[in-house]
Amino acid sequence: MSLNSVGYWFREAGRSLWRNSWMAIASVSTVTIALFVLAVFVVVSANVNHVTTLLQNQVEMRVFVKPRTTRPEEMALLKQVKTWPDVRKVDFFTKAQAAQNLRQEFPHEQALFRLIAKSNPLFDGYDVFATNPNDIPALAQRFDHSPIVNNVVYQGTVVRRLTRLGIILRWTGWVVEGLLGVATLLIIVNTIRLAVFARRREIQVMRLVGATDWFIRWPFILEGLTIGLLGAVVADAAVSLGYHWVVVRASVSLPFWPMAGFNSVFTQTSVFTIAGGLVMGGLASIIALRRFLKV
């Protein structure tokens, strides 16, 4: 295999795509749609994972106290809770402290905090750590019976739900992608089949003068890979631009919502779309050649 041959393969692949440009556009479009959906799933999954990880690193259970509860009432509950054997540790916080914590977590939103400083909308509450994570639901129920408790949030439920959502998303993603992948594959296979058919005279002459099988196959494989790659680039660009737009808007209108960072999401969508495009394109070429190019 010489460099001359490589040049020849690329020229032939390009010539074939150009000659069959309508079919090539159709194939690239279906690849784009399939990979666009894949990239959207990647973006949503990345965000669900992001939130899950954040929550896992936070406190185990948070108990919020009803507004207009007096401090002595709160202290009584605190004292009582400290005697419970299934509680490893409990910390009381006031709504002022909660506001302070938020201020540290979101240093860019000082204007907003100044605005709400007068009428703090947050609650007093307790951070509770269980001795055994399995006791958390029972513990939460016990807190709920207390007349001063407004609500109990424990990441156990949230994390479990988010993890389950993540799994469902991943499976839905694979099933939808599988179906789209098959449809896309069929269209690329057909494109390559047409390319083989259009060049059957060339192929016959190539065989007779002693071209190797792989020499004959490469232009078609390159053609399939090019279709896959073009579709991947278009899909990745569309999803990345879209996500960038959402991240910028979200930082203004939903400043408390933790979005997965653009760069890490962009890396993930690029890897998935480009790998997906190349695999689909390459696989389709190989299927088409096995079926329609008898060497």
Judged by CB under 8 A, the chain residues 195 through 234 that form the site for other proteins are 201-202, 204-213, 215-216
Report the residue from 5, 150, 151, 157 that binds other proteins according to the rule CB under 8 A.
5
- What is the DSSP code (8-state) at residue 107? G
Question: How far is it, in rounded angstroms, from Cα 65 to Cα 88?
Answer: 20
For 105-120, give one letter per residue: b (16+ CB within 10 A) or e: eeeeeeeeeeeeeeee
By C-beta, is 2 or 119 nearer to other proteins? 2
Q: What residues from 30 to 69 belong to the interface with other proteins (CB under 8 A)?
A: none
Question: Residues 1, 116, 168, 241: which binds other proteins (CB under 8 A)?
Answer: 1
181 Cβ contact partners less than 8 Å away, ≥ 6 residues apart: 34, 276, 280
Q: Does 194 bind other proteins (CB under 8 A)?
A: no
Least Å distance, CB 291 to other proteins, is: 17
Q: What residues numbered 234-263 form the site for other proteins, per CB under 8 A?
A: none
- Which amino acid is it at 15? R
Identify the residue among 2, 70, 104, 263 touching other proteins (CB under 8 A).
Answer: 2
Contact flag: residue 8 with other proteins (CB under 8 A) = yes
CB of 206 to other proteins, least distance (A): 5
Buried b (16+ CB within 10 A) or exposed e, 155-166: bbeebeebeeeb
Q: In whole angstroms, how close is the CB of 201 to other proteins at the nearest point?
A: 6
Sign of CA dihedral 259, 277, 26, 283: negative
Contact by Cβ (8 Å): 130, 88: yes
119 binds other proteins per the rule CB under 8 A: no
Residues that bind other proteins (CB under 8 A): 1-2, 4-5, 8, 201-202, 204-213, 215-216, 295
